[in-house]
Amino acid sequence: MVLRMLWRSFFEGRRRKILAAATVALAATLITTLFALSVDVGDKMAKEMTSYGSNIRVTPKADAMPLLIGGVDYNPLKGRDYLNERDLPKIKDIFWRNNIVGLVPRLALPATAEIDGTALRISVTGTYFDHLLPLPSDEGYRTGVRDINRFWQVEGTWPDDASESQALVGSRLAARLGVVAGGTLRLRTGDGADGPLRTVAIAGILTTGGEEDDGVTVPLAMAQAMAGLPGRIQSIDVSALTVPENDLARKARRGPEALSSEEYDKWYCTAYVGSIAHQIEEVLADTSARPIWQVAAGEGAVITRIQMLLLVVSAAAIAAAAMCVSALMNTTVLERAREIGLMKALGAAPWEIHLLFVGEAVIVGLIGGALGILAGYAVAQGVGWSVFQSGVDVRPITVPVVLAISVITVLAGSILPSRAIAALLPVEVLHGRR
């Protein structure tokens, strides 16, 4: 009976209900958009924090900021601090040594590529591809980008780490230069025309999706020779098996000094990325080892800052929609006053009457919310492309949350009309003569 009544009465005052649903839909669109953006980044961050693998970048403590313009480092090499290549095995000697899967040293230098008489400023990066790094505990330990960065794709062959004349050319650079695997490239150290020149064989074309696509990647020894910095490296990327971050790890991130000795022991003996980084700093003097949180450092930083704004805007949208709904509902209650008075006179309990109106409001909220989600999905895609240059993955959680918010909006809007229902006296509406 209740459902039948709800169903029938739902089609009363359709125009006003459509209006109310539209209001809710507008607010829901806005909230879906903001929420989808926020949750997408939040989920990515959470995933990053709960993953079982992390990367740590080790740099000299007083490292000068690289001056990167178009993928080329313009900061002069001299006067910079460097790490020593011979210190690399020390990293495999820390408490959590077995959790360190790989080490990738890097040395980048500015260079000029010459081909067919044209010269192009580029960045040359030396690294390990699959390098033998004998350790006291494991004479045959091999490590390098082939193992660590499995998504790097090479068209051709990987260069030999021992060679000083093989290189990978980034795919975008290769397109600009018009070179293919198997060709040769003349590289001149530095940005002038006076640096030493060497001819390298292009072993393959490298595609990573990152800045390597615009540069030349060579064996570390070759980069050291070009830069005249034998045995020196700029940074080390350490790939480690870690456990997900939790409260203790977050607390430790503010500085291990903040921990009690009991907590410190627990933290030190747990393979958090932070404790591994801490242990690397302990064995490599004057270095700074930092976890690389890609999402947290990028989109996460933006979202964290604007999240409050998102909240305020959403709250304003909800409040506005609720007020609109409230006005519309109030009119409905006035218009249907006789009906309400009649129900009261027939002996309906107050909650039974409220149920009818609130039930209608909930349906309106659900319809408005559903429309808003569809519209918000589209808007989120647009914003995603214009702000982050990528589509926004609208998470499934958005749907129930926005529907719930829509229903709450409508319910909030129904508070005042509900009081009107409660205050309505049947005597005033039932007798036409008064």
Partner 1 sequence: MTVSNQLTSDATSSRFGSTEQGRMVIDIRGLGKRFGAVAALQDVSFDVQRGEFIAIMGPSGSGKTTLLNILSLLDRPTEGDYHLDGIAVASLTEREQTVIRREKIGLVFQQFHLIPYLSALENVMLAQHYHSVADREEALEALEHVGLAQRRDHLPSQLSGGEQQRVCIARALINAPALILADEPTGNLDADNEGLVMGLLERLRDEGRTIVLVTHNPDLGERTDRIVRLQHGRLAS
Partner 2 sequence: MAFYIAALAHALVPAVLIIVLWTATLPAPDKPRRSGLARGVCAGALVGALAILLAIARTAETAGNTGLQVAGFVTNAATLMLLALNVRSLRLVEETGTPILARFTPILAAVEIAQGLFAAWNATVNHGLSATDVVNTDLIVNCTAILFGAALLAILALQLAKVARMAGRGPAATALAVVLVLALAVGSGQTMLGLLRLDQIGVTAERITYVARLSVIEPWQVYIDLGLTLLLILVAFRRRFRIGVTEDRIERRLRIARALTQSRWRRGLAGATALLLAILAFQDLYASRPPTLSEAIGMQADGKDEIRIPIERVKDGNLHRFAYISSAGHRVRFFLINRYDEAHIDIGVVFDACMVCGDGGYIQHGDEVICVPCNVRMFRPSIGKSGGCNPIPLPHTVEDGTIVIAASSLEKGARHFTEVVDVEVTDPVTGQKLTSGKAPFQHEAGGRTYFFGDKDSYDKFRADPDAYLRGGKQREHG
- Which residue's CB is nearer to partner 2, number 18 or number 135? 135
DSSP letters of 111-157?
EEEEETTEEEEEEEEEE-SSEE---SS-TT-EESHHHH-TT-EEEE-
The residues that bridge with 201 in the sheet, in sequence order, are 166, 184
Choose the contact partner of 241 out of partner 2, partner 1, none; CB within 5 to 8 A by kind: partner 2
Choose the contact partner of 254 out of partner 2, partner 1, none; CB within 5 to 8 A by kind: none
- Asked if 342 is part of the footprint of partner 1 (rule: CB under 8 A), the reply reads yes
User: Contact 211/230 with Cβ under 8 angstroms?
Assistant: no
- Asked if 150 is part of the footprint of partner 1 (rule: CB under 8 A), the reply reads no
User: Contact 167/115 with Cβ under 8 angstroms?
Assistant: no
End-to-end CA separation in angstroms for the chain: 32
User: Which two structure tokens, joined as six digits, stand for 299?
Assistant: 């989109």
User: Which two structure tokens, joined as six digits, stand for 431?
Assistant: 């007798």
Task: Show contacts with partner 1 in window 198-217 (CB under 8 A).
Answer: none
d(CA 175, CA 197): 22
Burial of residue 241, with CB atoms counted within 10 A of its CB: 0-12 exposed, 13-18 middle, 19 or more buried: middle
- Asked if 363 is part of the footprint of partner 1 (rule: CB under 8 A), the reply reads no
Give the number of other CB atoms < 10 A from CB of residue 240: 25
For residues 154-171, b (16+ Cβ closer than 10 Å) or e, as one string?
Answer: bebebbebeebebbbbbb
Choose the contact partner of 427 out of partner 2, partner 1, none; CB within 5 to 8 A by kind: partner 1
- Which residue's CB is nearer to partner 2, number 82 or number 293? 293
Q: Give the nearest distance from C-beta 369 to partner 2 in angstroms.
A: 16
Q: What is the DSSP letter of 55?
A: E
Q: Give the nearest distance from C-beta 357 to partner 1 in angstroms.
A: 14
Choose the contact partner of 420 out of partner 1, partner 2, none; CB within 5 to 8 A by kind: none
- Asked if 14 is part of the footprint of partner 1 (rule: CB under 8 A), the reply reads no
- Asked if 427 is part of the footprint of partner 1 (rule: CB under 8 A), the reply reads yes
**Contact pick of 86, 150, 254, 434 for partner 1 (by CB under 8 A):** 434
**Contact pick of 79, 136, 347, 396 for partner 1 (by CB under 8 A):** 347
Give the number of other CB atoms < 10 A from CB of residue 151: 8
d(CA 408, CA 252): 39
d(CA 72, CA 95): 37
- Which residue's CB is nearer to partner 1, number 254 or number 434? 434
Task: Show contacts with partner 1 in window 102-141 (CB under 8 A).
Answer: none
d(CA 119, CA 209): 24
Q: Give the nearest distance from C-beta 383 to partner 2 in angstroms.
A: 16
Choose the contact partner of 200 out of partner 1, partner 2, none; CB within 5 to 8 A by kind: none
Choose the contact partner of 327 out of partner 1, partner 2, none; CB within 5 to 8 A by kind: none
In one letter, which amino acid is 85?
A: E
d(CA 213, CA 159): 16
CA-based torsion, 349, 353, 356, 359: positive or negative: negative
- Which residue's CB is nearer to partner 2, number 170 or number 376? 376
Choose the contact partner of 348 out of partner 2, partner 1, none; CB within 5 to 8 A by kind: partner 1
- Which residue's CB is nearer to partner 1, number 5 or number 411? 5
Q: Which stretch binds partner 1 (CB under 8 A): 49-57, 212-220, 368-376, 422-430?
A: 422-430
**Contact pick of 349, 374, 397, 404 for partner 1 (by CB under 8 A):** 349
In one letter, which amino acid is 313?
A: V
Task: Show contacts with partner 1 in window 300-339 (CB under 8 A).
Answer: 338-339
**Contact pick of 79, 192, 255, 432 for partner 1 (by CB under 8 A):** 432
Q: What is the DSSP letter of 210?
A: S
- Which residue's CB is nearer to partner 1, number 10 or number 141? 10
Binding positions for partner 2, rule: CB under 8 A: 35, 38-39, 41-43, 45-46, 49-50, 52-53, 95-101, 137-138, 241-247, 250, 269-271, 296, 300, 303-304, 307, 395-397, 401
- Which residue's CB is nearer to partner 2, number 27 or number 174? 27
Burial of residue 255, with CB atoms counted within 10 A of its CB: 0-12 exposed, 13-18 middle, 19 or more buried: exposed
Choose the contact partner of 375 out of partner 2, partner 1, none; CB within 5 to 8 A by kind: none
- Asked if 12 is part of the footprint of partner 1 (rule: CB under 8 A), the reply reads yes
Q: Give the nearest distance from C-beta 50 to partner 2 in angstroms.
A: 5
E strand or H helix at 240: strand 235-241
d(CA 42, CA 296): 9
Q: Which residues are at the interface with partner 1 (CB under 8 A)?
A: 1-2, 4-5, 8-9, 11-12, 338-339, 341-349, 352, 425-427, 430-434
